[in-house]
Structure 1
Amino acid sequence: MASSGTTGDADPEDPVGYFIEDLRFHGKSERTREAYERVLREFEAFVGDPDRNPGGQSLSPGEASQRECMAWVHSLRDDLAESTVATYASYLHRFYDYMTQVGAFDSNPMALVVEEMNESIDKDPTRREISIPQMRSFVAGVTHPLERAVVVALLKTGMRVGELCNLDLRDLRLTGEAGDAYRLGTRPQLDGRGDSLFVTADAARGTVVNGEERDAANKRKRATVIPVDAELAGVLTRWLAVRPDARSAAEPLFVSTGRKWGRRLTPQMVRNVVETHASEAGWYRRGGGAEENVTPHYFRHFFTTHLRDRTGDRGIVKYLRGDVADDIIDTYTHNWGDRVREVYERHIYSLL
């Protein structure tokens, strides 16, 4: 993070709060800020407790030395995966580095700690391997119509959680009675495509799409039309039959059936659903790292791995994920009916 230009004049009474506020100014998401604050407040409590830190006296973060920082990192290892420990250490390192740059602290005691740590942040960890039969059993345990629709949609499309939350009725085309009953698929991009979903690349946090300001962003490089197979079509049809009236004129596809009745689902609501069912299956542990926990992002990994292995066509998988360059995506966009749907429907795994 670049210096804010206030070097030498920052003397906050609450350095953690100061840093979190600057993260907001730098455009970091609420989820990111919450993660940083949780970790930094835990460190603050550790150094402030004379019974826990090695100095035996209450210290503020600005008074902590390399020894306190190393002791805190060591204390994490009993309960957290190594990749999570490395991530938390990187949060503290970034905090000290920034506060040093703006003149609030004299030095960064985490610099040497990070250098000496054997762990590194694992950006592509070896993840839990779940077979298709195991995932099929998992889906069988998700019986609520909304929760099943969300889980099956993520597993069948490889969408990011924000992209799923941003879907409106106009982005889903279902042929037959369902399409007529619920005014679906009015996007012109879906014309002639059969049962399918349109995932735009235009939705960003704070932008207005289809008359509604969005709280989540779509991160794909280009808009994508994703086939909807018979299983997903059936699950979505059953959800639409009980879907509450939306509180937004944009007509979100997925809306809450809980305390925020009729409001568009948020990424956190989806994460809560997945984490609850994953915990029941023994696939999620609070404090666990990406290599063991099953989350919505894991579903994207599951989709990519199994569909790539089944098709042997990396290009189609990249197209469906929405993370390919223009020349590749244009090839599949122009040959959508002959190539994408045929390959997808021939190889997509059964979950029901």
Structure 2
Amino acid sequence: MSNNTPSQSNSDDARNAYAEAFNESADPLAQYSTQFYELPDPFEYYIETVIYNKTNITRESTINEYRRTYRQWRNHMESKDRHPACPSPKHVSGFIAWRRDEHENSRRSIKSKLSRLIGAYEHWQSESVFPHPSDFNPFALARERTDLGSNSHKPFPDPSLSQLQSDFAEIQDVRSRGVIGTQLKEGIRRGEVCNLQLQDIHISHKELQEAYPELGTHPALEGREDAMYIPHDREGNKSSNPRLLPIDEELRWLLVQYLATRPQVDEPWVFLSETSFSQLGKKDVNEIWKDAFHPKYAETDQTRGLTSHFGRHWFSSHWRLEIGLERELIQYMRGDRVEPINEFPDAIDDYLHPNFDHVEQMYRNNIFKLDLSMRHFISS
């Protein structure tokens, strides 16, 4: 079941069909990618030959913004095995989604980044020494066809931990408690909740393992107990990297409660729709949050409405602001690319590869408590 708008894959298929019908290339720059790796950086060439010579751009901080954008773009394209000067519109759409969803860039910020990228591309189009066709601009195409997000800077409500515990205690439905608890405890998006499969979670509970033989069977969980695997490449997931996350005693209890009452249907998904017993949809997740926290935390003139994305904010704020955890470890737990905050990173940043072993004990010792009543704990 899906509540998505018409998929990107459908429009990509149509674009490829048009290209084939009219004997045109849907990805005309792909052929130049390998050769560009042997040449000087074309983005730096643009900065040196154009940006430095613009009389209205004199501040070094402004030029650094160009370099920051181009560094982010290079990082994105590095994961696509394509030179950053040779993208397709799909690559650019992916970059927009990454900055919008993972880094929560505003619409204004994304438009500025695209403007810098388009400026470089248009210069290459005008230069006879570059192979970029004058009638194809993947940055401009992606800007037209991709959601750039919003400019809203209103914050989420900011309940204290004790208030959140009190509000959570009012939720009676076991599925709602499982969904909301999972997002708060693991910082995962609503799409990742919908895509969570039984194979992705290991729970040390004999009766559940007998009832669900596929529980925790994903190869990434081999040798792990009470842990969750979040893939990055499952359709609808938006994180850049996969990650393994611990399941603490509270979340384990919430999941045991739900799975003990989950309809016994032949579906791989952890959380099911109450009406169709099929995969939970994104709109369903938002309705679960609204039912639990509105109207108390509905949108106001000062704050955003408390929705499923709040869980990711709460998770990130807990680890960074309350615990003071290193940025790289938070990026790992969020599924972000591990990248420095500074414009000019140290060389060591390229060699940081956090994993489950780096975070497990720290997580289990420091994850916030929802203060659940353990009187009803289902023993394993």
TM-score (norm 1): 0.57
Contact 1:221 / 1:325 at 8 angstroms: preserved in 2?
A: no
**Which residue of the partner structure matches residue 220 of structure 2?**
189
Going from structure 1 to structure 2, the CA distance change for 1:290 and 1:270 (only over 3 Å counts) comes to farther
Q: Report the equivalent of 1:253.
A: 270
**2:284 is equivalent to residue 284 of structure 1:** no
Q: CA 1:21/1:170 → structure 2, altered by over 3 Å: closer, same or farther?
A: closer
**RMSD of the TM alignment (CA)?**
2.9
Check conservation: 1:150, 1:270, Cα contact below 8 A.
yes
User: In the aligned structure 2, how far is the partner of 1:278 from the partner of 1:329?
Assistant: 42
Residue in structure 2 matching 1:302, options 302, 308, 314: 314
Please name the residue that 1:179 is paired with. Answer: 209
Distance 2:7 2:314 in 1: 36
**1:330: how far off?**
6.1
- The CA deviation at 1:192 is 1.8
Q: CA deviation at 1:307?
A: 2.0
Q: CA deviation at 1:308?
A: 1.7
* CA distance in structure 2 between the aligned counterparts of 1:195 and 1:123, rounded to whole angstroms: 38
Task: Give the structure 2 partner of residue 169 of structure 1.
Answer: 198
Q: Which runs of 5+ in 2 are unaligned?
A: 13-105, 108-148, 340-348, 373-380
Shift of the alpha carbon at 1:124?
A: 4.4
State the shift of 1:344 in Å: 0.8
Alignment of 1:8-23 (within 5 A): none
Equivalent position SS for 1:332: coil
Give the letter aligned to residue 283 of structure 2: Q
State the alpha-carbon separation in 1 of the partners of residues 359 and 317 from structure 2: 17
Q: Distance between the aligned counterparts of 2:367 and 2:211, measured in 1?
A: 27
Q: Does 1:237 align with 2:256?
A: yes
Q: Does residue 154 of structure 2 align to residue 125 of structure 1?
A: yes
Paired residues for 1:210-229 under 5 Å: 217-229=236-248
2:353 aligned partner: 331
Q: Paired residue for 1:315?
A: 328
Which residue of structure 1 aligns with residue 168 of structure 2?
Answer: 139
> Aligned residues: percent identity?
28
Taking a change above 3 Å as real, the CA distance of residues 328 and 172 of structure 1, as seen in their structure-2 partners, is farther
Q: How does 1:87-166 map to 2 (within 5 A)?
A: 122-166=151-195
Find the residue that maps to 1:283 and give its secondary structure. coil
Deviations 1:161-210 (A, max 9, x none): 00010011000001231334322100111112221111111112xxxxxx
The structure-2 alpha-carbon separation of the partners of 1:23 and 1:255, relative to structure 1 and needing over 3 Å to count, comes to: closer
Correspondence for 2:342: none
TM-aligned CA distance change 1:25 to 1:232, over 3 Å: closer
